[in-house]
Structure 1
Amino acid sequence: MLGNDNGVSRRNILKLAGASVATAAGSGLAAAKPGDTVEVNIGFSSERGRSLALDAADHVVRDFDSLNIVTLRAAKQAVTALDKNPNIRYVEENGQMHALAQTLDWGQDRIDSEVAHANGETGAGADIAIIDTGIDDDHPDLSANIGSGKSFVACSTKGGCRYGAKPANNTCNYSWTDDNDHGTHCAGIADAVDNSQGVVGASTDATLHAVKVLDKCGSGSFSDITAGVEYVADQGWDVGSMSLGASSGSSALRDACQYAVNNGVFLVGAAGNSGPCTDCVGYPAAYPEVMAVSSTNSSDGLSSFSSQGPEVDIAAPGTDIYSSVANGTYDTFSGTSMATPHVAGVAGLLMANGYTNTEARNQLASTAEDIGLGSNESGAGLLDAAAALGLDSSDST
């Protein structure tokens, strides 16, 4: 729920949780016997050096004309001798680097998203609208899934914001480009591509739509948001994810929510970050048309900031969630804002299988896991993607 997320956990960009680029170590070359064939990169400083390197080669793998480098295979004793020649800048083993690992965030693991993916459930064919600050249109984890966008507020990264909010370091390629980070973070949780880098979403192959109703400072009027919800309904999209809210409601926005649900949209909203509190669910999540989501931590407890109340329908992970942010990077945020797109992504999986919005909502509630929290805290329980799809949570192969 934007507006109350300030001050909660926000970790360093590109925090990779141990994933790193492997160094091209020289242990293979060092361990080789003199007559063994090794593959090396040789940097030379003159044509004489280049000739010496090529003369030593059993096989030339690649010749970098512009860089004064050749990659070749040769006997170890031949390349070792080259390393002492003044025309040779260096001889190094042609080691390997590895792609940065893709992270399965604890939240996705907790709701068994990976079980759904392993069983071919990717959300292909579903349309998920992120009603938020926009989406980073060229983020490597999102761009393949982005369908279209619409903006009801201006995209701008110039100037500051009141209350300490900071615009994202991004370029407004489109009017709906994310200039804040928040919408991109939510989009990654809902539907980041399974591409061996960055993060993976609850859904991985649904079509994402950026409906920008919040500006660079994370603010939007009731009218802006109402227009966004109406627009989603008029497009015939399946899911509208709203990680936004206020302590008071709006009749106009309530009308739009009713209109959207009547037109087949599954609406999900953040319960709010006013906790610890009771009976404090914000709007639009408090409307009966919207599935209200509270937040849990990695210990299955209610997040300290999560709002509670009888309007809460379901809980999902929301503390320290690692996902995409603007400018093609990643960060860790906390909030019911982060819990909400978990539900949106799983709803996308269901609606890709032909569920209506009402059926998807009922299925999510009826298959939620009891984690011992009260209904005022977690509604029907914790979101369970595998159970919602009728899958065995142990079947992830």
Structure 2
Amino acid sequence: MTENNNHSNPGRRDVLRSLGAIGGVAALSGVTVAEPGREPGPKPDELLVGTAPTVQTVSVQQNVERELPADASVVHRNDVLGYFAVELPDEASAQADSAVAQRIERADGVAFVEENGTYYALEQSIEPAQYVPDDPGFDQQYAPQVVNAPEAWETTLGSSDVTIAIADTGTDYDHPDLQAQFGSNPGTDPAGGTNDPDARGSAHGTHVSGIASATTDNGEGIAGISNSHLYAVRVLGGGGGGSWSDIADGIQWSADNGADIVNLSLGAQQPSGVVQSAIDYAYDNGTLPIAAAGNDGPCSNCVSYPAAFSNCVAVSAIDSSESLANFSSTGPEIDVAAPGVQVLSTMPNGGYDNMSGTSMASPTAAGVAALGLAANPEWGPSELRQALEETAVDIGLPGNQQGSGRVDAANIVGENGDPPNDVSAVADASPSVVDPGETVTFYGGNSSGPIDSYAWELGDGTEESGETVEHAYDDEGQYTATLSVSGDGDTDSDSVTVTVDEDPDPPGDCDDYPTYDNATVYSPGDRVAYDGAIWEAEMEVMTVPPSHDSMWWSHVQDC
């Protein structure tokens, strides 16, 4: 169960915010201090080592250190998320298929080894083209109007009891239109090992912060979507890139310091086990991650990570006419859409300007979610996510472009304190075409609502329970697997079809498939030859070579 955010009493999240103001949470974070010089930005000479959940991270670190060459060292460790970073003398050694990585992977207690990859700020370069706040720039804005914020503002402008963490390039927290939203603890700079998340001249994080929560009705500048308390969490360097370890630590810090929402206007096509652990940790500890879908459009099935992770709200971008932005990534992971083209917001040194990208759509959605939470403070992450989706407006785009629709501030505030109680089942199967005896993984994690139970009928008389189950069919044929979810007196079901067909044509020799390439992005279903076997990608993957214990690859056959 996730933790509800009840602001009527000084609960855990309020205490955490108070501790954070005096630096108390640092002692609780479980994050070791980074070595001097670890500035935010790409770290191509590092490997990330994930540890098994049953062992202490420090013990695994000691095992791994015995396998390292003399010029390699552990430079960072996060005990809460269960990983540490190894710095190597050159980038070639820091590849996931390097000899060093393979030695590390064989050490006791190691769950996985991955490169310390990079996610980037998702800004797109495009040239410009009820309740009325007194902000002089409001008539130059369109995003608040499109999401019906002025109507919501008749009920609430937001609440300082609701906190949005902006994990980005840092923020000009002294900006006249932002400073009222920051308390005595403006945030943190995880990689730099400081408590100063200043933007240092980088515009992206300041712009994102203003979209979500520039102070509304203060006679200054523009109107943010919500008047919420802000944290600036500097996880990206001035060039817009940030290592997976910095981003994971920033997400964890946000949850540990009481953030209700963490906005992630960053991403890339590669998944990271370390970042996924941080997303899940945040969701399980009362923080809803909301992320930009990516700027790879026009394309399909191309949602970036971390937005594509199941415990993250993925936001696509639309323009002022509610048409899909031509740069917006799309795919089945899209949850909602929000304005992201030529959005006016704050800039460093007291300025204002337009920027475009799903980076701008994500904080718009985060601001709408914050208004909903201000009106309904008892909601936890699952209730807030469900309300954001259920109150979204269908604007006529396909589901893989708009998800549930365009976010709507008036609708979510109009929930009037009643948490959504509908459950919705979504059944997935991977792979969906198999040979007899081959294992199929059934997944119900994309279901929504206050779910208490998952029940599966797998089409051959087998019944299982749980969010994720595995099953193998003995005989050829088509099988319909049905998932039923229930919670708060409500039930829903969804079905998925699995085809069991023994392929008369064997996959073939390794020579029939391209050799795995570390620089290639593979899509689900792509097959490669590697290490004397044929492997099939289970999800978008890059820089992670196939192995039997990899979540990204499945073994097809030996050559």
Q: Amino acid of the residue matched to residue 149 of structure 1? A: G
TM-score (norm: length of structure 1): 0.69
Distance 1:3 1:262, change over 3 A: closer
Match of 2:196 among 135, 158, 175: 175
- How far apart are the structure 1 equivalents of 2:204 and 2:161? 25
Q: Amino acid of the residue matched to residue 103 of structure 1? A: F
- How far apart are the structure 1 equivalents of 2:215 and 2:314? 26
- How far apart are the structure 2 equivalents of 1:193 and 1:220? 28
Match of 1:380 among 400, 404, 407: 404
What is the CA distance between 1:241 and its match in structure 2? 0.4
- How far apart are the structure 1 equivalents of 2:410 and 2:135? 27
RMSD of equivalent CA atoms:
2.1
Structure number with greater CO (CA < 8 Å, separation at least 6) is 1
- How far apart are the structure 2 equivalents of 1:137 and 1:303? 30
What is the CA distance between 1:322 and its match in structure 2? 0.3
Structure 1 equivalent of residue 298 of structure 2: 276
- How far apart are the structure 2 equivalents of 1:217 and 1:232? 22
Distance 1:100 1:199, change over 3 A: closer
Q: Amino acid of the residue matched to residue 240 of structure 1? A: V
Contact 1:269 1:284 (C-alpha < 8 Å) held by counterparts:
yes
Q: Does 1:322 align with 2:360?
A: no
Q: Does 1:110 align with 2:132?
A: no
Structure 2 equivalent of residue 128 of structure 1: 164
- Give unpaired runs (5+ residues) of structure 1: 12-98, 156-172, 393-397
Secondary structure of the corresponding residue to residue 256 of structure 1: helix
Distance 1:306 1:6, change over 3 A: closer
Contact 1:178 1:184 (C-alpha < 8 Å) held by counterparts:
yes
What is the CA distance between 1:174 and its match in structure 2? 6.9
Alignment of 1:1-397 (within 5 A): 2-9=120-127, 101-104=136-139, 105-147=141-183, 148-154=186-192, 175-179=196-200, 180-194=202-216, 195-204=218-227, 206-352=228-374, 353-354=376-377, 355-390=379-414
- How far apart are the structure 2 equivalents of 1:335 and 1:341? 11
What is the CA distance between 1:351 and its match in structure 2? 2.2
Contact 1:10 1:331 (C-alpha < 8 Å) held by counterparts:
no
What is the CA distance between 1:10 and its match in structure 2? 6.5
Which protein has the bigger helix share?
1
Q: Amino acid of the residue matched to residue 372 of structure 1? A: G
Q: Deviations over 1:160-187 (max 9, x none)?
A: xxxxxxxxxxxxx973101311111111
- How far apart are the structure 2 equivalents of 1:253 and 1:391? 32
- How far apart are the structure 2 equivalents of 1:327 and 1:377? 36
Contact 2:122 2:359 (C-alpha < 8 Å) held by counterparts:
no
Name which of structure 1's ranges 375-384 and 100-109 shifts more when overlaid on structure 2: 100-109
Q: Amino acid of the residue matched to residue 390 of structure 1? A: G
Distance 1:251 1:391, change over 3 A: closer
What is the CA distance between 1:121 and its match in structure 2? 3.8
Contact 1:295 1:319 (C-alpha < 8 Å) held by counterparts:
yes
Secondary structure of the corresponding residue to residue 313 of structure 1: strand
Contact 1:303 1:318 (C-alpha < 8 Å) held by counterparts:
yes
- How far apart are the structure 2 equivalents of 1:260 and 1:337? 20
What is the CA distance between 1:122 and its match in structure 2? 1.6
Contact 2:372 2:409 (C-alpha < 8 Å) held by counterparts:
no
Distance 1:340 1:6, change over 3 A: closer
- How far apart are the structure 2 equivalents of 1:174 and 1:264? 23
Structure 1 equivalent of residue 508 of structure 2: none
- How far apart are the structure 1 equivalents of 2:170 and 2:258? 19
What is the CA distance between 1:154 and its match in structure 2? 4.4
Structure with bigger gyration radius:
1
- How far apart are the structure 1 equivalents of 2:346 and 2:128? 12
Contact 2:316 2:334 (C-alpha < 8 Å) held by counterparts:
yes
Contact 1:321 1:338 (C-alpha < 8 Å) held by counterparts:
yes
What is the CA distance between 1:8 and its match in structure 2? 2.8
What is the CA distance between 1:237 and its match in structure 2? 1.4
- Give unpaired runs (5+ residues) of structure 2: 1-118, 417-559
Which protein has the bigger strand share?
2
Q: Give % identity.
A: 41
Q: Amino acid of the residue matched to residue 137 of structure 2? A: Q
What is the CA distance between 1:5 and its match in structure 2? 2.5
Q: Amino acid of the residue matched to residue 222 of structure 2? A: V
What is the CA distance between 1:3 and its match in structure 2? 4.4
Contact 1:153 1:214 (C-alpha < 8 Å) held by counterparts:
no
What is the CA distance between 1:4 and its match in structure 2? 4.9
> What count of residue pairs does the alignment treat as equivalent?
287
Secondary structure of the corresponding residue to residue 189 of structure 1: helix
- How far apart are the structure 2 equivalents of 1:271 and 1:366? 19
- How far apart are the structure 2 equivalents of 1:371 and 1:6? 23
- How far apart are the structure 1 equivalents of 2:123 and 2:158? 29
TM-score (norm: length of structure 2): 0.49
What is the CA distance between 1:129 and its match in structure 2? 0.3
- How far apart are the structure 1 equivalents of 2:251 and 2:135? 37
